[in-house]
Amino acid sequence: MSASSAEASGETPSKDPVSGRLLSWVSTVDHKKIGILYISTALVFLGIGGLEALLIRVQLLFPNNTFLSPGLFNQMFTMHGTTMVFLVGMPVLIGFQNYFVPLMIGARDVAFPRLNAMSYWLLPFGGILLYFSFMTGQAPDAGWFSYAPLSTKPYNLMPAQDYWIIGLICLGIGSVAAAINIFVTVLQCRAPGMSLQRVPLFVWMSLMTAILTILALPALNAALAMLMIDRLLGAAFFEPARGGSALLWQHYFWVFGHPEVYILILPAFGMISEVIPVFSRKPIYGYAFVAGSSAVIVLLSYGVWAHHMFAVGLGMGADMFFAVGTLLIALPTGLKIFNWTATMWGGSIRLTTSMMFAVAFLLEFVIGGLTGVMFAAVPIDWQLTDTYFVVGHFHYVLIGGTVFGVFSATYYWFPKMTGRMLSERLGKWQLWLWVFGLNATFLSQHVLGVMGMPRRVYTYAEPGWMALNAIAGAGAVAMAAGTLVLLLNVWVSLRKGERSGDNPWGGFTLEWATTSPPPPENFDVIPRVESRRPVWDLDHPDSADSKFEKTPEDNGWRPDKSVTSVWAFVASEAMFFLLLLVSYVVFNTDQTGDIRSASVLDVARTGLFSIALLGSSFTLWRAESLLKAGRIPQFRRWLMLTIVLGSIFIGGQAIEYYGLISSDVTIDDNLFTATFFTVTGFHGLHVIVGLIALSILLGLAVKQDRNVLSGTALKAVGVYWHFVDVVWIAVFCIIYLRFLQ
């Protein structure tokens, strides 16, 4: 797909056509090409993950089947889940965001094109690491949520689990970087006139998803870091046998995991919020509600994670509160269905494939939502958790929601991306294959779940379950066939698809104001933006929205790129440290044994070094104001002093570590040392990164670099440096001064 769309976009390859074209893709920093790279990579992994799903279905086709060994079965469902979430779902959505967010807000590119390329390349890198585990003789097999203690060393000796961890850390870093990029792009690169209250809903949802990603992924990263320290360095965060807590893993995973499901669904909400109005020829009904309720979802989604843990015994009180929270979050999710339906109501509807996928979304998503709400009733959850009912629930929302949203968007935007139409006839085939497949497979699984079939068990003895499993298998085949139809459709269309023109659907938003495919710089002229539907206004001056519906004007506020991105990064890092510190508090409320903070830490000495670190915040602040005042030599001196103070702190930490390790206090001793070294170690790493950044700034300042002297770079690094200091204050109070013990 990639190579041929380059052809379609009329690229002129350099000398050697093939390698030149390849190079243009590998080295690209164009958000549109990166978007296509994301989507194509996701497609490759969709094939792999789909194959794994088919193998699972074959194994479950009849009772006591031996097609897959139990071990292989575990690997298949683990890899299927991991692949679909991290290598298909997130990338394909980020791909569409990458391609269309800049176009829809009238920007030339994302805020940081190079960072964008890096984020993308972490995807194949992480994916390959994950799949490389097969070469070690065995793939990861602890499930997509890798519950401890199953994922800890005593139960899982193979290196596969380590590949899983490292692969996911790569993917996590890539996702956060991509999210920061989208976040800053939406805030900073909007065309004049486009206030945040006027952005297309897909853009708004992308912004919300970015915030979710920035604040949720660090929870996973913290948990992964701790698991890795357990496995590689012999700590015992998650090993109950040595005092750790397997439950903590569940908490951390779901603190990430529940926001994650919204990361997967919000962009799809955005997609159908574009498609439905265009094919109903009406503006969306209740724009502010759709947008605002998504902001509420973002907030609430951090407060309901424990609904995945009703069965572990959190206590009545906790269960009750989380059940209510879950019901609450279902409101802003469910009520939007009415907005979309009301948008169609009385509109002149065109049932294109894209629109039909959007309608199918509405119907199927409601089913998945309803079964989700059933789980909110704790006793029902106790009955159904870990059965196929859960599998049915989340596939209805993920396929009926995310996948159908993506298909809808594919038919809607493919003409924009390539200049050619997809075949509607093949599209309808794909639609019906998928609708049949989804319901056949997952309705059966709902029933199987109620009958008591447990998920993740490689076979069953009950002959009565066979018929439904066979139907589920047939459904899986239909979905696979539907995917092949899509590939065929793309293939044929790229070769001889009908030319689409700039705006084949009569779309409303800015991406339709440029050519299909858009030129590298996106726009020649950006239309005036005076409402939520600028292209509609342009095409229908007499019934322009701007005449009839007032929306808040753009006040021209565009924050600085680098400072905003550093704030977003700092927020993400703050979550990371917060979780590490929580783990410290959890494991050290009552310390016993010889090795504890009171007996091994030298508070006075570290206090002295801490003063150096805090002092460096002050000197950096001085340096900043001197730079602002234009006193360059003094500025350089204070910057130098900052670096010296920071280095003194690091030196102090080195002395402390040396003392501890030489008196045989190491990370694998007990939970105090494990948490102590983890927290201070990660903090130290951050100080070192900050020192490197400051040194680079100093070097550039000596060379009279204009960027540095303009002050924004210093301000950005300054935010980071002060943040690192604030973290240290918390660390010092909790670990050394033993607050909260």
Binding residues for other proteins (CB under 8 A): 192, 196-197, 288, 291-292, 295-296, 299-300, 302-303, 315, 317-318, 321, 324-325, 328, 550-556, 578, 582, 585-586, 589-590, 740
Q: Choose which of 165, 398, 486, 694 interacts with ligand HEM (CB under 6 A).
A: 398
Task: Based on the shown chain and the rule CB under 5 A, indicate whether residue 258 belongs to the binding site for Cu ion.
Answer: yes
In residues, how long is the chain? 741
| Residue 704 contacts which entry, ligand HEM, Cu ion, other proteins, none (Cβ below 5-8 A, type-dependent) | none
Report the residue number, 369 or 437, with the smaller CB distance to ligand HEM: 369
Task: Based on the shown chain and the rule CB under 6 A, indicate whether residue 333 belongs to the binding site for ligand HEM.
Answer: yes
Residue from 496, 371, 391 nearest 438 by CA: 391
Measured CA to CA, the distance from residue 14 to residue 21 in angstroms comes to 7
| Residue 397 contacts which entry, Cu ion, other proteins, ligand HEM, none (Cβ below 5-8 A, type-dependent) | ligand HEM
Task: Based on the shown chain and the rule CB under 6 A, indicate whether residue 213 belongs to the binding site for ligand HEM.
Answer: no
The alpha-helical segments, DSSP class H, found in 281-403 are 287-300, 316-344, 353-376, 378-384, 388-395
Q: Shortest approach of other proteins to residue 725 CB, angstroms?
A: 17
Report the residue number, 327 or 492, with the smaller CB distance to other proteins: 327
Those residues with Cβ within 8 angstroms of residue 631's Cβ, 6 or more apart along the chain or in another chain: none
For residue 348, give both structure tokens: 């002149």
The CA–CA distances, whole Å, from 380 to 317, 456, 617, 708 equal 17, 20, 54, 60
Task: Based on the shown chain and the rule CB under 6 A, indicate whether residue 397 belongs to the binding site for ligand HEM.
Answer: yes
Measured CA to CA, the distance from residue 96 to residue 109 in angstroms comes to 14
Of 373-381, 427-435, 543-551, 687-695, the segment contacting ligand HEM by CB under 6 A is: 373-381
CA angle 375, 379, 384 (to 5 degrees): 55
Q: Shortest approach of ligand HEM to residue 264 CB, angstroms?
A: 5
Measured CA to CA, the distance from residue 272 to residue 38 in angstroms comes to 20
Task: Quickly count: other Cβ atoms within 10 Å of residue 62's Cβ.
Answer: 17
Largest CA distance in the chain: 84
Q: Shortest approach of other proteins to residue 288 CB, angstroms?
A: 4
Q: In the window 138-167, what residues touch ligand HEM (CB under 6 A)? A: 145
Report the residue number, 365 or 635, with the smaller CB distance to Cu ion: 365
For residue 714, give both structure tokens: 């210093």
Q: Choose which of 36, 169, 215, 265 interacts with ligand HEM (CB under 6 A).
A: 265
Those residues with Cβ within 8 angstroms of residue 731's Cβ, 6 or more apart along the chain or in another chain: 577, 581, 679, 680, 683
Q: What does the buried/exposed string (b/e) look like for 9-25 if buried means 16 or more CB atoms within 10 Å of the residue's CB? A: beeeeeeeeeeebeebb
Q: Choose which of 279, 361, 375, 388 interacts with ligand HEM (CB under 6 A).
A: 375
| Residue 292 contacts which entry, other proteins, ligand HEM, Cu ion, none (Cβ below 5-8 A, type-dependent) | other proteins
| Residue 333 contacts which entry, Cu ion, other proteins, ligand HEM, none (Cβ below 5-8 A, type-dependent) | ligand HEM
| Residue 295 contacts which entry, Cu ion, other proteins, ligand HEM, none (Cβ below 5-8 A, type-dependent) | other proteins
Those residues with Cβ within 8 angstroms of residue 382's Cβ, 6 or more apart along the chain or in another chain: 310, 311
Report the residue number, 125 or 394, with the smaller CB distance to Cu ion: 394
What type of residue sits at position 384? Answer: L
Q: Shortest approach of ligand HEM to residue 460 CB, angstroms?
A: 19
Residue 172 exposure: Cα atoms within 13 Å on the Cβ side? 24
Report the residue number, 101 or 306, with the smaller CB distance to ligand HEM: 306
Could you identify the residue written with the tokens 């979802």? 297
Pattern of binders to ligand HEM over 289-318, x per CB under 6 A? ------------------xx----------
| Residue 401 contacts which entry, ligand HEM, other proteins, Cu ion, none (Cβ below 5-8 A, type-dependent) | ligand HEM
Pattern of binders to ligand HEM over 234-263, x per CB under 6 A? ---------------------------x--
Those residues with Cβ within 8 angstroms of residue 368's Cβ, 6 or more apart along the chain or in another chain: 393, 394, 395, 396, 397, 398, 400, 401
Give the interface size with ligand HEM as a residue count (CB under 6 A).
23
The CA–CA distances, whole Å, from 233 to 237, 325, 584, 588, 677 equal 11, 38, 17, 20, 11
Residue ranges that bind Cu ion, judged by CB under 5 A: 258
Which positions lie near ligand HEM, rule CB under 6 A?
A: 145, 261, 264-265, 307-308, 326, 330, 333, 369, 372-373, 375-376, 381, 385, 390, 393-394, 397-398, 401-402
